[in-house]
Chain A
Amino acid sequence: MNQPNAVVTFTDVNQRFGAVTAVEELSLRIGQGERLAILGRTGAGKSTLLNLLIGNLRPTRGTVRVDGLDPYAQHAELQGVIGMAFQTPRLLPWRTALDNVAVGMEILGVPQSERLERARTWLGKMHLADSAGLFPSQLSGGMRQRVSLARAFSIEPALVLLDESFSALDEVTARQLREEFVELAEAERKTALIVTHNIEEAFAISHRVLLLGRPARILAEYAVSDCPAVGTTDFGDLRRSIHQQMVDATRAAMA
């Protein structure tokens, strides 16, 4: 399963919380520059996968590797390798947009002048150059989420994680941000893991989509290039099929 250019590998991972199995015999890999979307309903163990990946959890069985390193045991060595944007922006309210973007670089020890310059560049890429001096309370929801994305990208991580990052936004803003994310990820050749429950979103921003059951195990895998384009009639059929699989998986888990 491991490939030389793989940034992330999960090998036969099991994760149990007491009597509850959250992840079951899961193996996957994400190659360099690849964007993988993980699609699943609430409780499918998507967040557990992210927690395993950022080293908050040690798998009960199996191995997780990021750039060949164990995120749990080699926590410090992975500093600066992973950048994550969450469902909500999670900004520091007392810091301006500029200082919020710079916070990751500050922790990584980037000199002040360099980190402020890079933060300004990233705010510019997110179309927020004029809002650098504003506090989060003065920004709209979409702008705050852009700051959060800029914060994740600005440390120039090898791996970007998105945890339902667009789900709290209205559809128009979410679509706009998705497009900007794809542009940036393409330009920077970023490897990304996108966790979502939104079928259209998964297919719109990734190269490959994994459908997870409950507990987390792979039900189906889709190469986006082989699938109908989002918005077409054929995609509607695919969407209905995926939706039905998600419903069936939830019913089976609750039975």
Chain B
Amino acid sequence: MTDATGTVAPTAPPDPGPRTTAAPEPARLGLAGRLVDSQFSPIVFTIVLLVLLLWIGSLVSDPFVFPPLDRIAGSVWQVLTEQWGDMALTLVRFAAALAAAMVFGWALGLLMGAFRRTIGRFVNPLVAVVQAVPALSWVLLAILWMEVVETRIAFVTFMIAFPFFVIAVYEGIRDMDKDVLEAIEQFRPSRLQVLRILLLPQSVVNVIMTFRATAAMTLKLMVFAELIAADSGIGHRLQVAQSNFRVDAILAWTLLLVVANFLILWATDRVEKLALKWRAEAIVR
């Protein structure tokens, strides 16, 4: 092999090729070790502990304050068979409002990032003001401003959630790797091409992370909004249960909300794994 000047160069060894990560040989574990190592063990442990605490609570206190397990289970069953419509209504409201907040926030964040000197500079303080308004203020204003319950709930949820998406996408673009931008700009793309080829795919990470971080909070705030401003949904049912001194019903709804939160996080995890499969995750040993 000769180089450009005709000098004989030593033969280069082949490139090491694609990176592969060899999985370490799993150590042989006993039954107890396998139980501790199982991915389901922490979940089972948490459920058992919670049931145990509820049972002990019902033993040591008045059933009116801490109902027995069978009554809580009965309430869960009642919710699932007779009041599932309220649960479905809350989840539909949640999905619609969060999707609207995500799409609007994503689009606005991209526009702010692509036109930073104009739209970005002027809209950023407005978004910061919207984000600083307390959730309770949005709820009270929605009651006074709007008659239709669905509009109130959608408005409150949207106003709470969308600034998080805008700020995440905008800041993500501001923190973008300038070197990568320079590499793309060598081909002299239009502003629209930069948006489509670079900014939009890059912001997917920020949107998914924001969704993960805000989904649980948004659901809780939405139930809170329903409690004050709606005559249907989980929040309304909680308000009715509280009026009727039904601690068992409150616990049943709470339990279902916790399960819904876990399912939302699980679904987000699946979407994240699919959409961000290109990422190399660092594992701290």
Query: Is A138 within 8 A of B18, CB to CB?
Result: yes
Q: Which stretch in A19-27, A62-70, A111-119, A201-209 binds the other chain?
A: A201-209
A75 touches B188 (CB 8 A): yes
Contact of B183 among A80, A90, A135, A155 (CB under 8 A): A90
Note all chain A residues with C-beta closer than 8 A to B186: 54, 82-84, 104
Q: Specify which of B8, B179, B204 lies most central, judged by the most chain A CB atoms within 10 Å of its CB.
A: B179
Cβ of B112 to closest chain A Cβ, rounded Å: 21
How far apart are A123's CB and chain B's nearest CB, in angstroms? 13
Residues B12 and A107 in contact, CB atoms below 8 Å apart: no
Decide if A107 touches B15 in the complex (CB within 8 Å): no
| A-binding segment of B43-51, B81-89, B116-124, B193-201 | B193-201
Partner of B3 from the list A103, A108, A143, A179 (CB cut-off 8 Å) is: A179
Is the C-beta of B145 less than 8 angstroms from some C-beta in chain A?
A: no
Residue B184 at the chain A interface, CB threshold 8 Å: yes
> For residue B202, which residue of chain A has the nearest CB?
A94
Q: Find out whether the CB atom of A182 lies under 8 angstroms from the CB atom of B12.
A: no
CB distance from B179 to the nearest CB of A (A): 5
Known A-B contacts A90-B180, A138-B18, A175-B12; A76 and B188 likewise in contact (beta carbons under 8 Å): yes
**Interface contact tally, CB-CB below 8 A:** 117
In the bound complex, residues from chain B placing their C-beta under 8 Å from that of A151 are 183
CB of A179 to closest CB in B, whole Å = 6
Contact present for A205 and B183 (CB under 8 Å): no
Q: Which residue, B8, B179, B188, B204, has most C-beta atoms of chain A within 10 A?
A: B188
Q: Are A139 and B19 in contact, CB atoms less than 8 angstroms apart?
A: yes
Closest Cβ of chain B to A152, distance in Å, is 8
B189 at the interface (CB under 8 A from A): yes
Q: How many angstroms between the C-alpha atoms of A206 and B184 in the bound complex?
A: 26
CB distance from B3 to the nearest CB of A (A): 5
Q: In the complex, how many angstroms separate the beta carbon of B206 from the nearest chain A beta carbon?
A: 13
Also in contact, A92 and B7, with CB within 8 A (given A83-B186, A138-B19):
no
Residues of A in contact (CB 8 Å), total: 53
Judged by a CB distance under 8 angstroms, whether A137 is at the interface is: yes
Partner of B5 from A127, A148, A204 at Cβ < 8 Å: A204
**In B1-49, which residues have CB < 8 Å from any A CB?**
1, 3-9, 12-13, 15-19
Point out the residue from A91, A107, A172, A204 that lies within 8 Å of B4, measured CB to CB.
Answer: A204
Partner of B18, one of A79, A83, A139, A178: A139
List B residues 159-208 near A (Cβ within 8 Å): 177, 179-180, 182-184, 186-189, 193, 197-198, 201-202, 204
The answer to the question of A131 belonging to the interface, with a C-beta cut-off of 8 Å to chain B, is: yes
Binds B, one of A7-15, A223-231, A245-253: A223-231
28 A-B pairs with CB atoms under 8 Å apart are A54-B186, A79-B187, A86-B182, A88-B179, A94-B201, A94-B276, A94-B278, A95-B278, A107-B184, A131-B18, A136-B278, A137-B19, A137-B278, A139-B18, A140-B15, A140-B17, A172-B13, A173-B12, A175-B12, A176-B12, A179-B3, A179-B4, A204-B7, A206-B4, A224-B4, A227-B5, A230-B7, A232-B7
Known: A79-B187, A127-B15. 6 other contacts (CB 8 A): A84-B183, A90-B180, A92-B201, A95-B201, A135-B277, A172-B13
